[in-house]
C-alpha cells in the first residue's frame, strides 16, 4: 500500500509543482496572487480536448499521434495566449492606475469566474474525457503499479521543471526576471523594461499551467470547475515552499502531493483536501516563510 | 573641423551636458519642487545639498524618469541631456542614452551574486559582445577590488559599504557619460564615506560627469566642483564647492559651525 501511495503522491505532486511554479513565476514579477492562473490550467485542458474531440468520436476511439501533438500545441499556446490577454486587458490597466493589491485580487477572482463560466457555457457543465483507448495494465514497480500515462506525466513535468530552472538561472531574460523580482526600480535603472518582463512571466507561467492541465486530463476527466482545487493546491504548495521561491514551489508541490496521499493511509480519502489545508495552517503558524523562503 | 579645433572649442566653452529648466514637480497635491533650474557641465562633479525633504531626490528622480514610479509629476519645465529633452523618458531607456543612476539606498539585487549584479548593469549590451563584458568587469574590479573577492557571494550578504561599491560598479558597467548618485554616503561608517568619495573622484577623473545628492554637505562640497543648496523645493544658493564651504549661511545651516 505505501509504495502505491508514494507513487500517487509523486504524480499528484508533479502536477501541483507545475501549477505552483507557474503561479510563482508570475507572482515574482507582479507581487500579487494571480488566482485566474487556475482557469488558465482549465483552458489548456479544454483547448487540447477541442482539437482531439473530432478523433474521439471515431469508432476506434484512437487518436493519432499527430493529432495529439497538435492538441498539446494548441492547449499550451492557447494557455500562454490567455495569460497574456488577462495581463493586457485586466492587470495592465490596473497597474497604470496604481491599483491596490486588493483590487488585483478581486479582479483576478472575477477573471477566474468569468472564464470558468465561459467554458461551461461552451462545453457544458458535464465531465468530459480526453483519455482514449483501452485502459492498459500498468507496470509493476517496487510493489506499486504505474501506468504509461503516469510515467509520461512524471517525465514531462520533470523536464519542464528542469528547463524552467535553467532558463531562470542562465538566460538573459531569466536573469531579468530575477532582477525584477528582487527590486523592480533597480531593474528599470539598469535598463530592464518592467512591462516586458511581466509579459514574459505571464507567457511562461501560463504555458506551465496549460501543460499541467493537459497532463492531468490524460489521467482523469475534465470539467469546467477543475481549476479551483488545483489552484488552491498550487498556492498552498507555493506558501509551504516559501512564497516567491522557485525551488520552493517545486519542492512544495511534491511535498503536498506526498503528504496528501500518505495522509490517507490511515484516514479516508475524503480527507485529502483537509490534509492540504491543515498543512497550510501549520506552516502559516509555525514557519510562515515556508521551507525555502527567505525573510 | 579637425580634432585639434574641436579640442580648442571644448576648452573654451564648458559643454553643457545636463540642463534642468524651470522645473516644477508635484506629488499629487503636494508641491515638491518650485521652478528650479540647474546645469551640469561635461567633466564636472556637481553636488545638490540641503536639508531633508528639500527636494534633492525629487530633482534626481525627475532627471532619470523615476518620478512616475513614486506618483510624482513634472508640471512645468524641461530636462535636456546633450541638447535633447529627456523629460518623462522612462528609466530603462535612459541608460541607453548614457545616464546611469545609483539610487537612494543602493538597491542591489540581494538574491543575485555580485557578478550577476554587475552583469545586470551591462544588461542592455549583454550577449552582444561578451569580450566587452569581461573588459568592463575588469575595469570595475580594478576600481573596487573587494567586489572581485566577493563576486560569487549573494549581494544581500555584503556590508552596506560593499553594497554601495556594488551599486556604483553596476552603474559604471555601461560606461555612462553622466553618473547620478543619491546619498552615496547614507548609512556608511565614516571611513567608508571617505572611501566612496575618493572612488567618485577617480571615476570622474576617468571621464564620467557626476551629479550627486548628499546630506553630508561638507564631504560633498569638498569633492564637488560646484554645488546647489536646496531649501524647501527651491534652490537657495549656487556656487563653486569651495565658495559654498566658506559661505557663512552654509556653514551655519549645514556644517554645524
Ligand atoms: N512619493 C512621494 N509621495 C509624496 N510626497 C513625496 C514623495 N516623495 C517625496 N515627497 C515629498 O517631497 C518633498 C521632497 O522630498 P525629497 O525629494 O525626497 O527630499 P530630499 O531628497 O531633499 O530629502 C518632501 O516634502 C517629501 O515629503
Ligand atoms: Mg533624498
Is B129 in a helix, a strand, or coil?
Answer: coil
Count of domains observed in chain A: 1
Chain A positions touching chain B (beta carbons under 8 Å): 98, 172, 175-176, 178-179, 181-183, 185-194, 294
| Contact B27 CB / ligand 1 (< 6 Å) | yes
pLDDT band for position A60 (50/70/90)? low
pLDDT band for position A265 (50/70/90)? confident
Grid cell of B15 as nine digits: 559643454
Radius of gyration over every alpha carbon of chain A, rounded to an integer in angstroms: 19
Interface contact flag, B91 A189, Cβ < 8 Å: yes
Domain assignment present for residue B2? The answer is: no
Is A131 in a helix, a strand, or coil?
Answer: coil
Q: pLDDT tens for chain B, 257 residues: list them.
A: 444 444 445 555 679 999 999 999 999 999 999 999 999 999 999 999 999 999 999 999 999 999 988 889 999 999 999 999 999 899 999 999 999 999 999 999 999 999 999 999 998 887 656 788 999 999 999 999 999 999 999 999 999 999 999 999 999 999 999 999 999 999 888 888 999 999 999 999 999 999 999 989 999 999 999 999 999 999 999 999 999 999 988 888 877 76
pLDDT band for position A61 (50/70/90)? low
Residue A58 in this model has a pLDDT that exceeds 70: no
Domain assignment present for residue B3? The answer is: no
Nearest to B107 among A178, A181, A186 (CB): A186
Q: Which atom of ligand 1 is nearest to the CA of B61?
A: 17
The domain in which residue A195 lies consists of 2-229
pTM listed for this prediction: 0.91
Mutate to test the interface with A, among B67, B95, B100, B109 (most CBs of A within 10 A): B109
Q: What is the pLDDT of residue A134?
A: 63
pLDDT digits (tens, 9 = 90+) for A138-147: 888 888 899 9
Domain assignment present for residue A277? The answer is: no
Domain assignment present for residue B10? The answer is: no
Q: What is the pLDDT of residue B6?
A: 46
Q: Give the DSSP H or E segment for A185.
A: helix A184-189
Domain assignment present for residue B257? The answer is: no
- Cα separations in angstroms, B90 against A186, B15, B67: 13, 25, 9
Count of domains observed in chain B: 1
Indicate the average pLDDT of chain B.
Answer: 91
Query: Which of A261 and B11 is assigned the larger pLDDT?
Result: A261
Grid cell of A32 as nine digits: 500579487
Domain assignment present for residue B28? The answer is: yes
Domain assignment present for residue A242? The answer is: no
Give B82's contacts (C-beta < 8 A, 6+ positions apart): B17, B177
Chain A contact set for B129 (CB, 8 A): none
Q: What is the pLDDT of residue A293?
A: 81
If you average pLDDT over residues A261-282, what whole number do you get?
Answer: 87
Strand order in the sheet with B16-27: B30-41, B16-27, B72-81, B84-85
The domain in which residue B67 lies consists of 15-251
CATH at residue B235: 3.40.50.300
pLDDT > 90 in chain A, percent: 77
Domain assignment present for residue A130? The answer is: yes
Q: What is the pLDDT of residue B2?
A: 44
Domain assignment present for residue B244? The answer is: yes
CA A48 to CA A62: how far, in whole Å? Answer: 15
Query: Which of A61 and A33 is assigned the larger pLDDT?
Result: A33
The CA dihedral of A285, A287, A289, A294, to the nearest 10 degrees, is 160
Domain assignment present for residue A295? The answer is: no
Reported ipTM: the value is: 0.89
Query: Which of A37 and B125 is assigned the larger pLDDT?
Result: A37
Q: What is the pLDDT of residue B235?
A: 96
Domain assignment present for residue A251? The answer is: no
Amino acid at each position: 500500500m505505501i509504495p502505491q501511495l508514494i507513487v500517487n503522491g509523486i504524480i499528484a505532486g508533479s502536477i501541483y509543482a507545475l501549477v505552483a511554479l507557474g503561479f510563482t513565476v508570475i507572482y515574482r514579477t507582479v507581487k500579487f496572487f494571480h488566482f485566474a492562473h487556475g482557469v488558465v490550467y482549465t483552458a489548456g485542458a479544454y483547448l487540447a480536448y477541442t482539437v482531439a474531440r473530432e478523433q474521439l468520436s471515431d469508432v476506434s476511439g484512437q487518436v493519432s499521434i499527430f493529432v495529439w501533438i497538435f492538441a498539446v500545441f494548441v492547449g499550451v499556446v492557447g494557455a500562454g495566449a490567455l495569460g497574456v490577454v488577462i495581463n493586457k486587458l485586466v492587470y495592465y490597466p490596473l497597474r497604470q492606475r496604481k491599483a491596490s493589491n486588493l483590487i488585483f485580487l478581486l479582479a483576478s477572482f472575477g477573471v477566474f469566474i468569468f472564464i470558468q463560466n465561459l467554458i461551461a457555457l461552451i462545453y457544458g457543465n458535464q465531465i468530459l474525457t480526453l483519455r482514449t483507448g483501452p485502459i492498459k495494465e500498468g507496470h509493476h514497480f517496487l510493489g506499486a503499479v504505474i501506468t504509461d500515462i503516469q510515467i509520461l506525466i512524471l517525465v514531462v513535468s520533470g523536464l519542464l521543471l528542469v528547463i524552467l530552472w535553467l532558463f531562470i538561472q542562465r538566460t538573459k531574460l531569466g536573469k531579468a526576471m530575477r532582477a525584477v523580482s528582487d527590486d523592480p526600480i533597480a531593474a528599470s535603472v539598469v535598463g530592464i523594461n518592467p512591462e516586458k518582463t511581466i509579459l514574459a512571466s505571464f507567457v511562461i507561467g501560463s504555458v506551465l499551467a496549460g501543460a499541467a492541465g493537459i497532463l492531468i486530463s490524460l489521467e482523469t476527466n475534465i470539467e469546467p470547475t477543475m481549476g479551483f482545487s488545483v489552484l488552491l493546491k498550487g498556492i498552498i504548495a507555493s506558501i509551504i515552499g516559501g512564497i516567491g521561491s522557485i525551488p520552493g514551489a517545486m519542492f512544495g508541490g511534491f511535498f503536498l502531493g506526498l503528504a496528501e496521499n500518505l495522509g490517507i493511509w490511515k484516514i479516508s480519502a475524503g480527507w485529502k483536501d483537509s490534509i492540504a489545508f491543515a498543512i497550510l495552517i501549520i506552516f502559516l503558524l509555525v514557519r510562515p516563510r515556508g521551507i525555502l523562503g527567505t525573510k | 573641423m579637425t580634432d585639434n579645433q574641436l579640442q580648442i572649442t571644448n576648452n573654451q566653452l564648458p559643454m553643457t551636458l545636463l540642463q534642468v529648466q524651470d522645473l516644477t514637480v508635484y506629488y499629487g497635491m503636494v508641491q515638491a519642487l518650485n521652478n528650479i533650474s540647474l546645469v551640469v557641465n561635461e567633466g564636472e562633479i556637481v553636488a545638490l545639498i540641503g536639508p531633508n525633504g528639500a527636494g534633492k531626490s525629487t530633482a534626481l528622480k525627475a532627471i532619470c524618469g523615476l518620478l512616475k514610479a513614486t506618483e510624482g509629476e513634472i508640471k512645468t519645465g524641461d530636462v535636456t541631456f546633450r541638447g535633447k529633452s529627456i523629460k518623462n523618458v522612462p528609466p530603462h531607456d535612459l541608460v541607453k542614452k548614457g545616464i546611469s543612476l545609483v539610487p537612494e539606498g543602493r538597491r542591489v539585487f540581494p538574491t543575485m551574486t555580485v557578478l550577476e549584479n554587475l552583469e545586470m548593469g551591462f544588461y542592455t549590451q549583454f550577449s552582444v559582445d561578451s569580450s566587452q563584458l569581461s573588459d568592463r568587469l575588469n575595469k570595475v574590479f580594478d576600481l573596487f577590488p573587494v567586489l572581485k573577492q566577493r563576486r560569487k557571494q549573494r549581494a544581500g550578504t555584503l556590508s552596506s559599504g560593499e553594497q554601495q561599491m556594488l551599486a556604483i560598479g553596476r552603474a559604471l558597467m555601461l560606461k555612462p557619460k553622466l553618473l547620478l548618485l543619491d546619498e552615496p554616503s547614507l548609512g556608511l561608517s565614516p571611513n567608508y564615506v571617505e572611501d566612496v568619495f575618493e572612488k567618485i573622484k577617480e571615476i570622474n577623473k576617468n571621464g564620467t560627469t557626476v551629479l550627486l545628492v548628499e546630506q553630508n554637505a561638507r564631504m560633498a562640497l569638498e569633492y564637488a566642483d560646484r554645488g546647489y543648496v536646496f531649501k524647501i523645493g527651491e534652490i537657495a544658493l549656487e556656487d563653486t564647492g569651495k565658495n559654498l564651504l566658506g559661505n557663512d549661511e552654509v556653514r551655519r545651516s549645514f556644517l554645524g559651525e
